[in-house]
Amino acid sequence: MSSKLFFLAIAALHPYEAVEPHMGTLFSIKLYAGDEKSAKQAFQAAFARIAQLDETLSDYKAESELTRVTLSSRAALSGDLFTVLSKGQWLSAQTDGAFDVTLGPLTHLWRQARRAHQLPSAEVLQEALSRSGFRKMHMDGQSVRFDVSGMQLDVGGIAKGYAADEALAVLSKLGIKSALVVASGDLAFSDAPPGEEGWKVAIEALDRPLLLTNAAVSTSGSAEQNFVVNGVRYSHIIDPKTGLGLTTSVTTTVIAPHGIDADGMATAINVLGLERGLAFIEKQSGVAAAFLIDQERRVVFSNRWPVAARSTLTPATDRLRRSERRP
């Protein structure tokens, strides 16, 4: 065997995949490594980082840093919580509060309402709204301060994208250059799989896949998490103006350089809707978005959406109708 061939033989990379439950969903990681041992080590380190972020950012866990911080009127923050809250506050400022990490009191009401199949009363809603609002939260240095007591944070609209970024960073430090992290609607990936041009990302509602490297793709909408009261469907994404789940039926997908941005922006533009959402996206460098307007059964792409991935539109609802008609 020539020395060149020998080198190729030992450098060959193989695909490995692993799945673990974190942050109330399944995280799946696909990576290319030289052998099973290094793949296993890489999975362990990446999942440990995701678990650590869950411990920090969860609003379900009484001992998480996020819960502890909301119980005090002022608190110093770890680097992770600081990064996530700063990005949240930036998004709030850019979207006039459409995205808001202080909606905790309202997302908790939403969870109760889903269990009880009943909306909260106007008084209860008003009280929760009085303890929410990004303008009542202030970041200075590495600390956070709240204007009113009883505020509750919920970073569920941005945490999975950040966790995906951080998992990729851990893998990169271990020498894994080509990897994909998927957490339900949030994906982030590094270099292309060996010998390929990019990661092929299929979006459920669109018929043309994306081919991307070193980017993230997030999808938000009410398709999976919602409840119906008196014939009205309430999304798990809260309209900060009403305090209730959105009743519009839009699915939004964002492509961005990092998961924290793709995740946060996909949620934000779901609240903003088509016109204001598009205007916001066009201002962000390196970011593209697609809006699937379920009721009208049409897809609208922002200018930077890759031309090759612009579908000739096979809306999900059309596909659904066709399959319903099958005998």
Q: Is 161 helix (H, G, I), strand (E, B) or coil?
A: helix
Residue in 135, 324, 322, 169 with CA at minimum distance from that of residue 258? 169
Stretch that binds ligand AMP, among 134-142, 150-158, 168-176, 254-262 (CB under 6 A): 150-158
Question: Cβ contacts of residue 272 below 8 Å, gap of 6+?
Answer: 95, 98, 280
User: Rule CB under 6 A: is residue 132 a binding residue for ligand AMP?
Assistant: no
Asked whether the beta carbons of 74 and 51 are under 8 A apart, the reply is no
CA angle 47-48-49, nearest 5°? Answer: 90
Stretch that binds ligand AMP, among 98-106, 199-207, 209-217, 288-296 (CB under 6 A): 98-106
Residue in 124, 134, 130 with CA at minimum distance from that of residue 149? 130
Residues 102-121 that bind ligand AMP (CB under 6 A): 103, 107
User: Rule CB under 6 A: is residue 271 a binding residue for ligand AMP?
Assistant: yes
The residue from 89, 220, 253, 302 that contacts ligand AMP (CB under 6 A) is 220
Helix, strand, coil percent values for the chain (each to nearest 5): 40, 25, 35
* DSSP state for residue 265 in the 8-state scheme: H
From the list ligand AMP, Mg ion, none, partner contacted by residue 107 (C-beta under 5 to 8 A by kind): ligand AMP
User: Rule CB under 6 A: is residue 259 a binding residue for ligand AMP?
Assistant: no
User: Rule CB under 6 A: is residue 157 a binding residue for ligand AMP?
Assistant: yes
User: Rule CB under 6 A: is residue 156 a binding residue for ligand AMP?
Assistant: yes
User: Rule CB under 6 A: is residue 162 a binding residue for ligand AMP?
Assistant: no
Least separation in angstroms between residue 204's CB and ligand AMP is 14
Least separation in angstroms between residue 218's CB and ligand AMP is 7
User: Rule CB under 6 A: is residue 66 a binding residue for ligand AMP?
Assistant: no
Q: At residue 115, what are phi and psi to the nearest 5 degrees?
A: -65, -40
Site size toward Mg ion, by CB under 5 A: 4
- Tokens read off for 241: 């103006």
Binding site for Mg ion (CB under 5 A): 157, 263, 266-267
